Amino acid sequence: MKHDPTMSVPCETLYTRDMILPIDYADIVAASERLDGVALCTPVLSNAEANARSGAELFFKCENLQRIGAFKFRGAYNALARFDAEARRGGVLTYSSGNHAQAIALAARLLGMPALIVMPKDAPAIKIAVTRRHGAEIVLYDRYTEDREALGSRLAAERGMTLIPPYDHPDVMAGQGTAAKELFEEVGPLDVLLVCVGGGGLISGCAVSAAALSPQCRVIGVEPQAGNDVQQSLRTGERVRIDVPQTIADGAQTQSPGLLTFEVIRHRVSNIVTVSDEALVRSMRFFVEQMKIVVEPTGCLGAAAALEGLVPIAGKRVGIVLSGGNVDAQRLAALLTTEA
Ligand SMILES: *Cc1c(COP(=O)(O)O)cnc(C)c1O
């Protein structure tokens, strides 16, 4: 299928000031206080070659350098830090394609509570191994035939654990929003913020930060071309469910936006664009060769949109969240040496 960058959502979202959304900026400020001294305030990188290619001034927020190698530590720790004494004793359960699992495992260990993780059998080996190393118990499932949410709920009930889903939870969304808060606090207002989109936890938190700290900033989500469930949902105004997408962006293989995340996306996100797997590979190579950093395929979504001219950003100040860097060395080598 040929990629058509004009396949974007036509509507411009209106900002309505007094709207009630699942989270507001005060939740993000509270999250950043909980994360202070626990999560890293990751660096913001600039690069002359990236600016030349895009014709814009790009600011890369390096969440690939966050603890566990992805922004997901922010939301996970924020959620677990809010557990009461009884919930802490019972512990936490989650399902995840990987980074959220690691994040929950580490946050649970730091807070001294048990963690059980339901993970797909075909998750990258490094993600399964690291999750286990953080001391979490792991139950594997088949993502093409089993329903992880049903399995997760059943196990949580059986064991008296609290389920923290990977994106559709206010504390998770608020935690993720601290990434954009830090970015705006460091570089000031921006014209555009590009954020990769799986289930929408990261972009919903970041969009709430943007509305508070840089109200003129357009927040644009970026999805893999094969899995544009959120783009379709924004277009139709209702949550669209798709088949499990086949893409190298394993952190964005979600089938539909969350109930809560979609509420925020509908009101705070201007547009969603999509990028091909080939564009993700070219961007990964750009980061290794030009910027000397490893960014996993999903983490390249926002950057690929900017570097490949898929969003109109000429002359603008543009923030890009590099969401994660967890990719096996072997897989990285294979991806970097394929034709793209
Ligand atoms: C989870 C994840 C995403 C998608 O985040 P959502 O909150 O589900 O939209 C993007 N990139 C990486 C590296 C992730 O781990």
> So what's the pLDDT on residue 97?
61
Burial class of residue 188, CB neighbours in 10 A (0-12, 13-18, 19+)? exposed
Per the annotation, the verdict on 72 as an active-site residue is yes
Mean pLDDT of 103-108: 96
Asked whether 229 lines ligand 1 (CB < 6 A), one says no
Site to probe by mutation for ligand 1, drawn from 99, 272, 301 as the one with most ligand atoms within 8 Å of Cβ, is: 99
CA distance 306 to 4: 15
Asked whether 251 lines ligand 1 (CB < 6 A), one says yes
Residue 254 or 123, more confident: 254
CA distance 14 to 3: 28
CB distance 226 to 234 below 8 Å: no
> So what's the pLDDT on residue 14?
46
0.95 surpassed by pTM: no
> So what's the pLDDT on residue 96?
77
CA distance 327 to 320: 19
pLDDT higher than 70, residue 286: yes
Strand partners, 162: 92
Check residue 5 and report its DSSP letter: T
Backbone angles phi, psi at 322, to 5 degrees: -85, 105
CA distance 194 to 218: 9
> So what's the pLDDT on residue 123?
78
Asked whether 298 lines ligand 1 (CB < 6 A), one says yes
CA distance 277 to 272: 16
CB atoms within 10 A of CB 245: 18
- pLDDT tens digits along 123-132: 777 778 888 8
Q: 86 alpha carbon to ligand 1 midpoint, in Å?
A: 29
> So what's the pLDDT on residue 3?
42
Average pLDDT over the chain, rounded to an integer: 92
Exactly one of 27, 168, 171, 223 is catalytic; which is it? 223
Asked whether 224 lines ligand 1 (CB < 6 A), one says no
Exactly one of 54, 96, 97, 256 is catalytic; which is it? 97
> So what's the pLDDT on residue 7?
41
Exactly one of 75, 91, 98, 227 is catalytic; which is it? 227
Q: Is the dihedral of CA 155, 158, 164, 167 positive or negative?
A: positive
Which of 181, 169, 230, 219 has its CA nearest to residue 63? 181
All CATH 3.40.50.1100 domain ranges of the chain, comma separated, are 5-70+170-336, 72-163
Q: 132 alpha carbon to ligand 1 midpoint, in Å?
A: 20
Per the annotation, the verdict on 46 as an active-site residue is no
| DSSP annotation string for 313-327 | -TT-EEEEEE-B---
Tokens read off for 175: 């935690």
Per the annotation, the verdict on 323 as an active-site residue is yes
CATH number given to 72-163: 3.40.50.1100
CA distance 55 to 49: 10
Asked whether 299 lines ligand 1 (CB < 6 A), one says yes
CATH number given to 5-70+170-336: 3.40.50.1100
Tokens read off for 85: 């004494």
Exactly one of 8, 54, 63, 72 is catalytic; which is it? 72
Q: Return the minimum-mean-pLDDT range out of 141-150, 169-178, 220-229.
A: 141-150
H or E segment and range at residue 272: strand 271-275
Q: 323 alpha carbon to ligand 1 midpoint, in Å?
A: 7
Per the annotation, the verdict on 229 as an active-site residue is yes
